[in-house]
């Protein structure tokens, strides 16, 4: 769904690069090892609200 209006790629760090935003997908304990990455987010399946750079995985379901 995002590829129609955005550039998607697979970066060295993270799971997806959407435009200039890095995303990792995983469990609550997963985080970026390098905090210096700008616009880096972790999409977790164990949380219900966002905090710091972690967002709920189910929000990606609204993109469809």
Q: For 32-57, what is each residue's pLDDT tens digit?
A: 665 667 788 888 888 888 888 889 98
Check the CA dihedral 46-51-57-59 and report its sign. positive
Give 2's pLDDT tier (boundaries 50, 70, 90): confident
Range of the structural domain that residue 37 is part of = 2-63
The residue-averaged pLDDT of 2-20 equals: 86
pLDDT of residue 9: 92
Number of domains in the chain: 1
Is pLDDT above 60 for 10?
yes
Neighbours of 4 (CB within 10 A): 5
Is pLDDT above 70 for 29?
no
- Are 15 and 24 a contacting pair, CB within 8 Å? yes
Residue 56 CB burial class (10 angstroms; 0-12, 13-18, ≥19): middle
């Amino acid at each position: 769904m995002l590829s129609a209006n955005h550039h998607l790629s697979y970066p060295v760090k993270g799971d997806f690069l959407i435009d200039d935003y890095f995303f990792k997908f995983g469990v609550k304990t997963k985080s970026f090892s390098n905090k210096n990455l700008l616009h880096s987010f972790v999409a977790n399946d164990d949380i219900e609200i966002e905090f710091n750079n972690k967002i709920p995985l189910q929000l990606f379901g609204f993109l469809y």
